[in-house]
Amino acid sequence: MAVTAADLQAAAPRMDEALPDGPDSLLDWSRLQAALETADPRPTQGWVEQVVGLAVEARGPVSSLGELCWIHRAGLPPVPAEVVGFRGPHTLLMPLGDARAIRPGSLVEATGRGFTVGVGEGLLGRVLDGLGRPLDGQGPVAVEAWYPAEGEPPPPLARQPIREPLPVGVRSIDALLTCGRGQRVGIFAGSGVGKSTLLAMMTRHTAADVVVVALIGERNREVRDFVDHHLAGSRRRTVVVAATADRPALVRIKAAQVATAIAEFFRDRGRHVLLVMDSVTRYAMALREVGLAVGEPPATRGYPPSVFAALPRLLERAGTGPRGSITGFYTVLVDGDDLNEPIADAVRGTLDGHIVLSRQLAEEGQFPAVDVLASVSRLMPELVEPAHWAAAQRLRRWLGAYREARDLLEIGAYQRGSNPDVDRALERMPAIRAFLTQGRDEASPFAEAVARLQEVAGGAVT
């Protein structure tokens, strides 16, 4: 903070006190020197010059990228804003709330710090907004520590190896796409294929100690429905962070970062956390809004380059740490079921596996509509016994053979005996479909899923 007239006045003697002799006695130079040594020479205040689109351009204050500022408004409380860029002498800010009543000349005040979120055990069972504030009307949360929203991932050599499976209660995933504690997996699907319902099954049936759910860009109705219906029986161990589609782009970005910071808090306490984010695509869309608002040129399909730099920074924060773990499941919306669109491609290259939900399987009545052949868990061979892995590969081989011969089968042109794998698939297909189908409220323990895989695919699984 700059030295003000009040500082000088405090360093000067009172007028009604007797002054000692000598010119140096008019000021207490030791106090003034201490004030100068601890002062921040940067101007901490500025003013709004114009608002262009989503961005507020201010003349000053001198601040750094990511720093929080307050924009004062006439007749309304000040609104927080984050520094998102610079343009010549102007500071570009993005409000974290309602931008009404911001006008040229509005006072802008820097805080000197970035965005942090209060964390603690009291978060369990609570619903928060995108800035980490209670949204459920149950009063404030007892804060035990403050974590930066945009934290740093653990160093690579500080991460514990992933050696233990994390059951999620979904039979097709646990048996055929086994995920480990600390693994990061993408769920790729178009709209209306059942990804949100699949995530709800995971939150109810997972073996994780804590579940953190981030709902990014969802409809308001869906947030209430998720909390009231999908968290039955698991809410006490769950934290929900919701930033609906009507919230500012920066709030939607912060929601993803806040949820990850909360998961990091529980991981640092040695807990095994399941982090579910729906969806990382809407997080990327919010990043695009901010990037374009500050003048960044669009690149691939309208996404500026900063989006593809921000995605791995967020995703790499999950995983194992020196003590606990964060197992991340991130949904990715694919336009027109195009799995090679830019965001899907970037996320798939960063994560440790991907699960594809098929619209065709959903239309045929299979739920969850997991396309086993298009999905992969990169760590599964290291997590399961060799017999389990062999049985899973055998079932995948039968599914692949059946898919290749499906056209011939539908027109009656396939002759039995032409392909042993197709013949075996035809015999086992009713059992395979029953195995892959699971009710929304049906729990499937890991051992039971492996046993059923053995029954369907044949061969001992230990």
**Average pLDDT rounded to a whole number, residues 182-195:** 89
Class of 388-457 per CATH? mainly alpha
**Average pLDDT rounded to a whole number, residues 160-183:** 93
Q: Cβ of 365: how many Cβ atoms within 10 Å?
A: 9
Q: Kindly state the tokens that stand for 185.
A: 């997996």
Q: Kindly state the tokens that stand for 189.
A: 């699907």
Mind listing the pLDDT tens digit for each residue in 257-304? 999 999 999 999 999 999 999 889 999 999 999 999 888 888 878 899
- Under a CB-based contact definition with an 8 Å cutoff, are residues 70 and 61 in contact? no
Angle at 127 between CA 122 and CA 131, to 5 degrees: 95
pLDDT higher than 60, residue 323: yes
Task: Specify the pLDDT at position 364.
Answer: 86
Rounded to whole angstroms, what are the CA distances from 271 to 55, 207, 265, 322? 39, 12, 9, 11
**Average pLDDT rounded to a whole number, residues 37-44:** 62
pLDDT higher than 70, residue 39: no
**Rg (alpha carbons) of the chain, rounded to whole number:** 28
Determine the Cα–Cα distance for residues 451 and 111; give it in Å rounded to an integer. 58
The SS3 assignment for 327 reads: strand
pLDDT higher than 90, residue 395: yes
Q: Cβ of 301: how many Cβ atoms within 10 Å?
A: 10
Q: Among the listed ranges 37-41, 142-146, 442-446, which one has the minimum average pLDDT value?
A: 37-41
**% of the chain beyond a pLDDT of 90:** 51
pLDDT band at 368 (very low <50, low <70, confident <90, very high): very high
Mind listing the pLDDT tens digit for each residue in 326-352? 999 999 988 766 777 889 999 998 999
**Average pLDDT rounded to a whole number, residues 437-453:** 91
Angle at 393 between CA 387 and CA 397, to 5 degrees: 145
pLDDT band at 443 (very low <50, low <70, confident <90, very high): confident
| DSSP per-residue letters across 189-253 | E-TTSSHHHHHHHHHHH---SEEEEEEES--HHHHHHIIIIITTTTGGGEEEEEE-TTS-HHHHH
H-helix or E-strand spanning residue 456: helix 446-457
| Residue with tokens 């459920």, as numbered in its chain | 136
Which sequence spans correspond to the domains of the chain?
Answer: 45-114, 117-383, 388-457
The pTM assigned to this predicted structure is 0.85
Task: Give me the CATH code for the 117-383 domain, please.
Answer: 3.40.50.12240
Task: Specify the pLDDT at position 1.
Answer: 42
**% of the chain beyond a pLDDT of 70:** 89
Q: Do domains 117-383 and 388-457 have the same CATH topology?
A: no
Q: Looking at domain 45-114, which CATH architecture does it have? A: Beta Barrel (2.40)
Q: Cβ of 127: how many Cβ atoms within 10 Å?
A: 23
**Contacts of residue 344, Cβ cutoff 8 Å, sequence gap at least 6:** 186, 188, 281, 332, 334, 338
Mind listing the pLDDT tens digit for each residue in 81-138? 999 988 888 899 999 988 888 989 999 999 888 899 999 999 999 999 999 999 888 8
pLDDT higher than 90, residue 459: no
Q: Kindly state the tokens that stand for 5.
A: 């007239």
